[in-house]
């Protein structure tokens, strides 16, 4: 795979001055996990060194140009609520943004943004450079230094030199023994045009860690000027709130850019099937396990052979370069097959390919060897975050980096680790899944993984997590002030709306027909529970005595609307844990259970758990699927013993 374009230089070229003999925290890798880890530790007062490979970019977006989406957008909001930097960098460099999951309610609704890749990398590099107590150097880490009891003492570099530290955070991404596949062609590398690292994998194995081999991939890039825009559907950016709670509104640095949608067809699938033997994945050249929830186009065509087409999105990677990311076409096919596939798709009949897609295999560490703090159980002071833990996605990596950085800094001060509860955050769900359930394939955050997803919303991440950020020292004063003002405004407005009463004559006729108010009237706060009532309607008729931010009214409306659902959700969750020992019949047909995902049905069928507790611990079986299993078992019991039902 030969480079065809220089997409902008966002590398750090700093002189190799004499470094201190020791740092409090050393972070290996400056990707999304590494940036958040280093910044968190520095904000908590530790002296931090970041080691990044020569020639690599800070916070490089090696795959798509998007951040957010269902569950992933929730993670970005939580990172921001805790004082992280990803949300602010997105707001600063966004090119396209819109709400997703809107049809499923506010519990699922979140933001998905596209950014200029170079601008995003530059923004994060600038944040690192300006941070106090944080040093960035280009060097390759070869091995952790450990004492007789396994405690981390520092890191050895590839040139043989050593740097001491109290805590070491490894955020190595896909660079550990990374191998790129494009058809028959294999190139060592962590990503396109970047090196691989071999010695660190060997060192981790020598320290007794169990390593695995995973796979991910990326899509071809095509020339914007070779696309027939008349054959694709344009999707415009929306006016939305920002990702960061520190930004009152989203001030785009430049005009928004659209993206476009098209689809594969039978001709595309015929090209793929005819050339499957040339795919690195299906040709047997890839040993690593790939992500179930982000399959290659070859995988889609094979696994879903009954489908005539799959959606494809065309996303601009940069403002001033014609590179277009072909979302939905991750592949390890040879370059000549990739261009043949592309030219069967509407809008891409005469397309020019700037760079082929490829798959990348890399070493990872099975995360059930970690504590919930992300510290290795057998190697005190060593923390792992990001794809080294078997996850996929920028957002999952950044969330883990933040947690690892916080806990590495606290270890330096002899403070207890901060543990995130899965009932309180998606970050807690992510880490609990990794360290207690383990995994068999690259992990992707899904809303279905959270038992209390109705409570873990995009809109309330600040109310859930910023108080913790204040307590541990991660929240800057302005963030704390903003939250305090918001909470006070919500309380005042909730009290005011509890005193306002609407009578039948005050309501639109359509509302009176579907849900007539009682003769004595209905309180405004109760009226907000109706899905068709907006806070703005009440405010127009009963203005508050002071100007209220739009997020205050939205928070009141969402809280009111979800109150009953949240109570029922918590009851279901309690019942689930109370009935964890319910036996599962050996003859059960998991594929016939209503509402259960195909992935979970496959795993349950293969492993045949004896009871619900065992089923819930199977990697990849989501809490939502366990709930559907419980409902199925209860109904089956009721059908056999109707007298037991009330």
Q: Evaluate if residue 401 carries a pLDDT over 50.
A: yes
Question: How much is the average pLDDT of 68-80?
Answer: 97
Helix (H) or strand (E) holding 217: strand 211-218
The per-residue pLDDT for 1 is 45
- Model confidence at 88, pLDDT cuts 50, 70, 90, reads very high
Predicted confidence (pLDDT) per residue in 328-338, tens digit? 999 999 999 99
DSSP output for 372-417: TTSBBTTSTTEEE-SGGGTB-SHHHHHHHHHHHHHHHHHHHTTPPP
**Cβ contacts of 448 within 8 Å, gap of 6 or more:** 597, 622, 623, 624, 625
Measured at the alpha carbon of residue 369, what is the angle toward residues 443 and 619, in degrees to the nearest 5?
35
Predicted confidence (pLDDT) per residue in 479-510, tens digit? 999 999 999 999 999 999 999 998 878 877 76
Predicted confidence (pLDDT) per residue in 167-221, tens digit? 999 999 999 999 999 998 999 998 888 888 999 999 999 999 999 999 999 999 9
Burial grade of 107 (CB within 10 A; 0-12, 13-18, 19 or more): buried
Q: What is the mean pLDDT of the chain?
A: 90
Query: Can you tell me the distance from the alpha carbon of 174 to that of 360, in angstroms, rounded to the nearest whole number?
Result: 7
The per-residue pLDDT for 281 is 77
Of residues 1 and 607, more confidently modeled: 607
Q: Evaluate if residue 326 carries a pLDDT over 70.
A: yes
Of residues 578 and 28, more confidently modeled: 28
Tokens of 27: 């972070």
Lowest mean pLDDT segment, chosen from 197-211, 307-321, 540-554: 540-554
Give whichever of 254-258, 462-466, 573-577 has the largest mean pLDDT: 462-466
The Cα-based distances of 290 to 212, 296, 574 in angstroms read: 12, 9, 34
The per-residue pLDDT for 357 is 95
Asked if residues 71 and 433 have their Cβ atoms less than 8 Å apart, the reply is no
Question: How much is the average pLDDT of 48-58?
Answer: 93
The per-residue pLDDT for 516 is 57
Of residues 171 and 512, more confidently modeled: 171
Question: How much is the average pLDDT of 67-73?
Answer: 96
Question: How much is the average pLDDT of 341-370?
Answer: 96
Burial 119-146 (b: 16+ CB within 10 A, else e): bbbbbbbebbeebebbbbbbbbbbbbbb
Give all domains of the chain, ordered by start, each with its CATH number: 7-214+362-466 (3.50.50.60), 221-360 (2.40.30.260), 476-576 (1.10.10.1800), 590-644 (1.10.150.570)
The per-residue pLDDT for 576 is 66
Q: Evaluate if residue 239 carries a pLDDT over 80.
A: yes
Largest distance between two CA atoms of the chain: 83
pLDDT above 90 as % of the chain? 65
User: Whole-model pTM above 0.75?
Assistant: yes
The per-residue pLDDT for 289 is 82
Q: Evaluate if residue 578 carries a pLDDT over 90.
A: no
Asked if residues 479 and 83 have their Cβ atoms less than 8 Å apart, the reply is yes
Give whichever of 19-23, 147-151, 323-327 has the largest mean pLDDT: 323-327
Question: How much is the average pLDDT of 525-548?
Answer: 87
The per-residue pLDDT for 121 is 97
Q: Evaluate if residue 10 carries a pLDDT over 70.
A: no
Q: Evaluate if residue 514 carries a pLDDT over 70.
A: no
The Cα-based distances of 215 to 34, 259, 332, 618 in angstroms read: 20, 28, 11, 21
- Model confidence at 519, pLDDT cuts 50, 70, 90, reads low
The Cα-based distances of 547 to 376, 493, 550, 560 in angstroms read: 50, 11, 9, 21
Q: Evaluate if residue 9 carries a pLDDT over 50.
A: no
- Model confidence at 473, pLDDT cuts 50, 70, 90, reads very high
Q: Evaluate if residue 6 carries a pLDDT over 50.
A: no
Q: Evaluate if residue 615 carries a pLDDT over 50.
A: yes
Lowest mean pLDDT segment, chosen from 92-106, 210-224, 413-427, 581-595: 581-595
Question: How much is the average pLDDT of 254-258?
Answer: 89
The per-residue pLDDT for 79 is 98
Question: How much is the average pLDDT of 295-311?
Answer: 92
The per-residue pLDDT for 360 is 93
pLDDT above 70 as % of the chain? 94
Question: How much is the average pLDDT of 250-277?
Answer: 92
**Cβ contacts of 193 within 8 Å, gap of 6 or more:** 3
Q: Evaluate if residue 595 carries a pLDDT over 50.
A: yes
Predicted confidence (pLDDT) per residue in 450-467, tens digit? 988 999 999 999 999 999
């Amino acid at each position: 795979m030969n480079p065809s374009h220089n997409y902008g230089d966002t590398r750090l070229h700093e002189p190799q001055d004499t470094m201190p003999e020791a740092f409090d925290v050393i972070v290996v890798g400056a990707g999304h996990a590494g940036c958040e880890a280093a910044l968190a530790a520095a904000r908590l007062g530790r002296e931090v060194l970041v080691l990044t490979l020569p020639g690599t970019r800070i916070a490089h977006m090696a795959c798509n140009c998007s951040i957010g989406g269902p569950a992933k957008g929730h993670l970005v909001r939580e990172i921001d609520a805790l004082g992280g930097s990803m949300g602010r960098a997105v707001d600063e460099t966004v090119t396209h943004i819109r709400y997703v999951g809107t049809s499923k309610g506010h519990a699922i609704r979140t933001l998905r943004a596209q950014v200029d890749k170079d601008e995003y990398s530059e923004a994060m590099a600038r944040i690192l450079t300006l941070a106090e107590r944080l040093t960035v150097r280009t060097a390759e880490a070869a091995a952790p230094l450990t004492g007789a009891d396994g405690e981390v003492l520092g890191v050895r570099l590839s040139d043989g030199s050593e740097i001491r530290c109290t805590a070491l955070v490894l955020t190595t991404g896909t660079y550990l023994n990374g191998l790129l596949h494009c058809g028959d062609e294999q190139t060592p590398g962590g990503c396109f045009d970047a090196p691989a690292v071999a010695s660190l994998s060997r060192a981790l194995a020598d320290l007794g860690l169990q390593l695995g081999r995973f796979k991910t991939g990326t899509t071809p890039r095509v020339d914007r000027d070779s696309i027939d825009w008349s054959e694709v559907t344009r999707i415009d950016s929306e006016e939305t709130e920002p990702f960061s709670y520190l930004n009152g509104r989203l001030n785009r640095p430049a005009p928004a850019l659209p993206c476009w949608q098209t689809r594969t067809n039978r001709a595309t699938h015929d090209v793929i099937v005819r050339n499957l033997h040339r795919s690195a994945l299906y040709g047997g050249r890839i040993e690593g396990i790939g992500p179930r929830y982000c399959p290659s186009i070859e995988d889609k065509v094979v696994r879903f052979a009954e489908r005539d087409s799959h959606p494809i999105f065309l996303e601009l990677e940069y403002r001033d370069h014609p590179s277009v990311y072909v979302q939905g076409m991750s592949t390890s096919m040879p370059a000549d097959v990739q261009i043949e596939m592309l030219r069967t798709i509407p809008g891409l009949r005469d397309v020019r390919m700037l760079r082929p897609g490829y798959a990348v295999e890399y070493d990872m560490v099975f995360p059930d060897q970690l504590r919930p703090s992300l510290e290795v159980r057998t190697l005190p002071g060593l923390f792992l975050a990001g794809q080294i833990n078997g996850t996929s996605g920028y957002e999952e990596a950044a969330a883990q980096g933040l947690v690892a950085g916080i806990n590495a800094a606290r270890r330096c001060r002899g403070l207890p680790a901060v543990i995130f509860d899965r009932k309180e955050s998606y970050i807690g769900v992510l880490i609990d899944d990794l360290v207690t359930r383990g995994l068999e394939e690259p992990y992707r955050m899904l809303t279905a993984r959270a038992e209390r997803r109705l409570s873990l919303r995009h809109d309330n991440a600040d109310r859930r997590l910023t108080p913790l950020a204040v307590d541990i020292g991660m929240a800057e004063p302005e963030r704390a002030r903003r939250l305090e003002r918001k909470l006070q405004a919500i309380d005042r407005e909730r009290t005011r709306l509890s005193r306002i009463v609407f009578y039948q004559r005050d309501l639109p006729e359509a509302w009176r027909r579907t849900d007539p108010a009682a003769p004595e009237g209905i309180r405004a706060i109760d009226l907000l529970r109706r899905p068709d009532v907006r806070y703005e309607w009440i405010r127009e008729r009963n203005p508050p005595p002071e100007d209220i931010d739009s997020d205050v009214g939205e928070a009141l409306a969402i809280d009111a609307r979800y109150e009953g659902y949240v109570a029922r959700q918590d009851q279901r969750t309690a019942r689930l844990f109370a009935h964890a020992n319910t036996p599962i019949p050996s003859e059960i047909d998991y594929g016939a259970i209503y509402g259960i995902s195909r992935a979970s049905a496959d795993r349950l069928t293969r492993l045949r758990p004896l009871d619900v507790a065992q089923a819930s611990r199977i990697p990849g079986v989501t809490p939502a699927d366990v709930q559907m299993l419980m409902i199925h078992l209860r109904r089956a019991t009721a059908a056999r013993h109707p007298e037991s039902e009330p």
